[in-house]
Each structure stands twice: as structure tokens, then as C-alpha cells.
Structure 1
């Protein structure tokens, strides 16, 4: 699993360099492209990241002009993350990346879906055993 993860990250790197993103930043953006705004807590739960890891990522994305963090008017303890216009438009440039990774891996769409499902089950099973 470790070798596959490293190899996938190496394939992602030049694609993400085109976008000016690191892999963790790309993951945050993918979650926000699915649904925004999201609270910092929701992002952390979705990505399995603690606030100590997530906060610097969000700070960097904000400095790149891709996201904006705002305190919730309803609950000032809650910080919400919004896409900026630049962040939203980056989605179109990133749209082909998952397929490019699948092509590099030689996997069909159904095989990639099966792999994602299997890895999701593995992750859930290992996390529930904590």
C-alpha cells in the first residue's frame, strides 16, 4: 500500500504542479469542489486531517487566492471555508486529473471504482478498530 501510495503521488505531482497545488491542497480543493462552503471541522473529518495539519493547508490556499475562511455568523466558533472565483474556476482545469491517473495506472473506470470502494472499506475497518 505504501509503495502504491508513493507511486500515485509521484504521478500526481506534475499534474498538480500545473495547478500550483500540492497533493494535500488538491484533496482539500476536491472536497470543496464537491460542496462549498464547508466548515474546517467538516473538511478535517472528510479528509481525516486534524486541525494542526489542516490549518496551514487552508492558510496557504487562502494566500493563493483559492479559498476564503470566514467565521460563521450563527456560531462564531465555527470557521467556514468558501471557494473564491479563482478556486472555483480551477475545478475545470483539474477535471481530467482522476482520469489521467487512471490511465497512468492502466485501470478502467469500473476497476478504479472497485479499488476506491475496497480502499474505503479497508480504511473504515482499520479506523473502527482504534
Structure 2
């Protein structure tokens, strides 16, 4: 193929093949990651969604539930049960904000803070099982971040009903 020629067109019927769908490739990769994380996180007593909550709290410290949800792209209906289970496990506390009684803050307990040390092995193990080096992982993350941004922007521009 020359620099001015375009790739051969894909037959219209092929556009609906499952193996041509980027969304399915991402879905399959996500499910595979979830399976690996389930095994790795078992030692920490966390599920993958709980691990994500803990990552945000370890990075940012105490946060209102609303801010926590923004970081994780989760609504309060999904986030609240996660935080409740983490609280039941003694890893976090929920407290009404002293600045705004309508707001609930999520705070790490000593046990939740201490769990961070044990969690340091998780990313190392993920790197091992992917077979990707750190540069490749960084490139993939950057591409996925660009894809997410493009999809977020497109969703804002799309009408509710076509």
C-alpha cells in the first residue's frame, strides 16, 4: 500500500462481525482483567471495585462520597454498597462532613492505611501476567485515556434519541 492509497474497504456485512467491534475487545479484556484481579486481590480480602475505591483513597486521602464517585466514574447507588462493605471490613469510616452536613466523607482507618503496603504487590503482579513492559503499559493507558476522552465528548454531543 502506498502513502496515498487507503486501506481496502471492509465489506459492509463485515462491520457487524463481533471480532471487528472495539467495544467487544475492550469488554473481553476487562473481563480477563477482572478474573486475574479476583485471584490477586483474594489475599487482600478485596474485590476489584473495592480495590479501586482503596486506590483513590490511598492517593487522595479522605474524600466526600461525591468526589470519590467522580474519580471512579460511579454513581452513589453503585458506590454506597462498596463503601459499606469496606466499612464493615474495618478499612474505611463514613462520617458526616463537619463543613456540610449533607455530605458524607469516606476516611481510611488505620487498617485501611496499613493495607496499602500489602497492595503494592498487585501492580507488580499485573505487569508480570500481562507480558507487557512498563513503556507498553504506559502507551496503552495513554491510548485508552484518549479513547475515553473522545467517547465522553461524543456522548455530550449526541442527541438523546437518534
TM-score interval, normalised by the smaller of the two chains: over 0.9
Quote the offset at 1:93 in angstroms.
0.5
Structure ID, larger Rg: 2
Deviations 1:2-41 (A, max 9, x none): 1111111111111111111110000000000101101101
Deviation >3 Å, runs of 4+: none
Counterpart of 2:118 (choices 61, 86, 93) is 93
CA RMSD, 1 decimal: 0.8
Counterpart of 2:143 (choices 102, 118, 129) is 118
Question: Secondary structure, in 3 states, of the residue corresponding to 1:112?
Answer: helix
Map of 2:106 onto structure 1: 81
Question: Secondary structure, in 3 states, of the residue corresponding to 1:58?
Answer: helix
Distance 1:76 1:120 in 2: 35
Unaligned runs of 5+ in 1: none
Quote the offset at 1:126 in angstroms.
0.8
Quote the offset at 1:116 in angstroms.
1.3
Count of matched residue positions in the alignment of Structure 1 and Structure 2:
130
Residue 104, structure 1, aligned to residue 132, structure 2: no
Quote the offset at 1:85 in angstroms.
0.3
Unaligned runs of 5+ in 2: 1-25, 156-162
> Taking structure 1 as the reference length, what is the TM-score of the superposition?
0.96
Question: Secondary structure, in 3 states, of the residue corresponding to 1:70?
Answer: strand
Residue 51, structure 1, aligned to residue 59, structure 2: no
